[in-house]
Structure 1
Amino acid sequence: MHRRTTVLLLSTALTALPGPLALADGGGSSSGQVVLPGVPERLSAQQACTAFKGRATSDAPWTRRALGLDQVWTLSQGRGVTVAVVGTGVSDGPAVLAGRVDAVGDAGEDCVGRGTFQAGLVAGAATPGQGFSGVAPQARILAVRGTGVRGEPDPARLAAGVRAAAEHGAGVITVTAPLDGADKAVRAALAVAAAKDSLVVAPAAADSVPPATSGETPAKPAPAPPKGVLAVLDTGPQGTRPDTAPPYTRADLTAPGDALVGPGPVDGGKWTGSGSSLAAAVTAGTAALVRSYHPELKAAQVRERLLRTAYPADLPALDPYGAVAGAEAPAPDAAAARPDPVRPASPPDAASARNTALLVTAGAAGTALLVAFLAAALPRGRARGWRPGRLDPRGTQGEGGTA
Structure 2
Amino acid sequence: MRRRTTVLLGLVTLAVLLPPPAALADPTAPADGAGSGTTTLPGMPERLPEGQDGCTTHRGRPTSAAPWTRRSLGLDQVWKLSRGRGTTVAVVGTGVSAVPAVLAGRVTAVGAADRDCVGRGTFQAGLVAGASLPGQGFSGVAPAARILAVRGTGERGEPDPALLAAGVRKAAEAGADVITVTAPLDGSLPAVRAAMAAAVRHDSLVVVPAAADAAPRGGSGGDQGPPAPAPPPEALAVLDSGPQGTRNPLAPGYTRADLTAPGAALVGPGPVGDGKWTASGSSLAAALTAGAAALVRSYHPSLRADQVRERLLAGAYPGAGLPALDPYGAVSGPARPAAAAPAAEKPVALPEQTDTGAARSTALLVTAASVGTILAVAFAAAVLPRGRARNWRPGRYEADRRAG
TM-score clears 0.5: yes
Measured in 1, the distance between the counterparts of 2:162 and 2:261 equals 27
Measured in 2, the distance between the counterparts of 1:10 and 1:250 equals 30
What's 2:91 paired with? 85
Q: Are 2:236 and 1:230 equivalent residues in the alignment? A: yes
Aligned length: 317
* Contact 2:222–2:250 under 8 Å retained in 1: no
* Contact 1:10–1:238 under 8 Å retained in 2: no
Equivalence map 1:304-343=2 (5 Å): 304-313=310-319, 314-332=321-339
Q: How far apart are residue 214 of structure 1 and its match?
A: 3.3
Measured in 2, the distance between the counterparts of 1:331 and 1:226 equals 18
Q: Give SS of 1:212's match.
A: coil
* Contact 2:224–2:251 under 8 Å retained in 1: no
* Contact 2:32–2:65 under 8 Å retained in 1: yes
Measured in 2, the distance between the counterparts of 1:241 and 1:133 equals 23
* Structure 2: stretches of 5+ with no match in the other structure: 1-22, 341-404
What's 1:401 paired with? none
Match of 1:293 among 292, 296, 299: 299
Q: How far apart are residue 155 of structure 1 and its match?
A: 0.2
Q: How far apart are residue 12 of structure 1 and its match?
A: 4.5
Match of 1:171 among 177, 188, 195: 177
* Contact 1:10–1:237 under 8 Å retained in 2: no
Q: Are 2:213 and 1:198 equivalent residues in the alignment? A: no
* Contact 1:50–1:113 under 8 Å retained in 2: yes
Match of 2:111 among 105, 109, 128: 105
Could you state the TM-score of these two structures normalised by the residue count of structure 1? 0.76
Q: Are 2:64 and 1:58 equivalent residues in the alignment? A: yes
AA of the residue aligned to 1:40: P
Q: Are 2:32 and 1:21 equivalent residues in the alignment? A: yes
Match of 1:258 among 258, 261, 264: 264
Q: 1:232 to 1:326 in 2, by over 3 A?
A: same
Q: CA RMSD in A?
A: 1.7
Q: Give SS of 2:218's match.
A: helix
Match of 1:44 among 43, 49, 70: 49
Q: How far apart are residue 215 of structure 1 and its match?
A: 3.6
Q: How far apart are residue 218 of structure 1 and its match?
A: 5.0
Q: Give SS of 2:214's match.
A: coil
**Runs of 4+ in structure 1 displaced over 4 angstroms?**
8-13
What's 1:337 paired with? none
Measured in 2, the distance between the counterparts of 1:217 and 1:129 equals 42
Q: Are 2:290 and 1:270 equivalent residues in the alignment? A: no
Q: How far apart are residue 243 of structure 1 and its match?
A: 1.1
* Contact 2:306–2:338 under 8 Å retained in 1: no
What's 1:396 paired with? none
Q: 1:329 to 1:43 in 2, by over 3 A?
A: same
Measured in 2, the distance between the counterparts of 1:10 and 1:265 equals 37
* Structure 1: stretches of 5+ with no match in the other structure: 1-7, 334-403
Instruction: Report the structure number with the largest CA radius of gyration.
Output: 1
Identity of aligned residues (%): 72
Equivalence map 1:337-352=2 (5 Å): none
Measured in 1, the distance between the counterparts of 2:136 and 2:275 equals 10
* Contact 1:10–1:239 under 8 Å retained in 2: no
Match of 1:34 among 33, 39, 46: 39
AA of the residue aligned to 2:258: D
Could you state the TM-score of these two structures normalised by the residue count of structure 2? 0.76
What's 2:393 paired with? none
Match of 2:141 among 135, 143, 146: 135
Q: Give SS of 2:148's match.
A: strand
* Contact 2:128–2:142 under 8 Å retained in 1: yes
Q: 1:127 to 1:219 in 2, by over 3 A?
A: same
Measured in 2, the distance between the counterparts of 1:249 and 1:279 equals 16
Match of 2:194 among 188, 192, 207: 188
What's 1:148 paired with? 154
Q: Are 2:313 and 1:282 equivalent residues in the alignment? A: no
AA of the residue aligned to 2:32: L
Measured in 1, the distance between the counterparts of 2:265 and 2:25 equals 15
